[in-house]
Amino acid sequence: MNNRRGFTLIEAIVVTVMVAALAVVLVTRLTGASTRTFDLASEQLGDLVLMYAIRSEFAEEPIGIMVDTERNSVLLMIRRGDRDDGNGGWVRDPSVREVVLPNTIPVTDMEFRADGDWVDPTERPLSSLPGQPRPHIDIMMVSNDPRLERSRRLILMPTAWRPLVRDSILSEDAAPSRRQVDLDMTGRWQEDW
């Protein structure tokens, strides 16, 4: 008589279901971690922009936002000291924390705009002078993580304190944006709806 015992069909199904459930949990956790990292970086950058707005309103020195590509970070800068030195008198604001971004959000892929014009804050800070109107600032963050194709815009209006946050998903199968179409002009006025 053969004493060799194999798996029953029920045992094989139970093991398969358990492995599938663990795989779902693992994928969900990994995707959730990417989302949390992106959201945290966005919140920290939003806080830095908030401090920029407050300081530009009440500081006696010019204030600016600068990018450090070596550290993959965004800093708040104050213009002090000698303007003839190599950095134009700009020093890091010691009371505002540097925002070090994760590797999935490279500062080289970020886009900075002031009053609609593209600005490169790697060489010179995106700045505002005391007593002068603050520019309309638009910062675009993009995640290069293949599991999380998202972008987020932080928009600071000239009179606002906190930036507006706009999200978008960067996938090809994302729903197209809605736009108004004149059916008479397109020749579709006779189509059934």
Q: Where is 27: in which H helix or E strand? A: helix 9-58
d(CA 129, CA 56): 7
Q: How confident is the model at residue 27 (pLDDT cuts 50, 70, 90)?
A: confident
Give residue 155's domain range: 9-172
pLDDT tens string 108-124: 999 999 998 999 999 88
pLDDT tens string 158-176: 988 899 999 875 444 444 4
pLDDT for residue 5 is more than 80: no
Q: Kindly report the CATH number assigned to the domain that includes residue 41.
A: 3.55.40.10
Q: Is residue 189 one of the residues assigned to a domain?
A: no
Q: Taking a C-beta distance cutoff of 8 angstroms, is the pair 154, 141 a contact?
A: yes
Q: Is residue 98 one of the residues assigned to a domain?
A: yes
Q: Is residue 2 one of the residues assigned to a domain?
A: no
d(CA 157, CA 137): 7
* Between 36 and 191, the higher pLDDT residue: 36
Q: Taking a C-beta distance cutoff of 8 angstroms, is the pair 147, 31 a contact?
A: yes
pLDDT tens string 62-73: 999 999 999 999
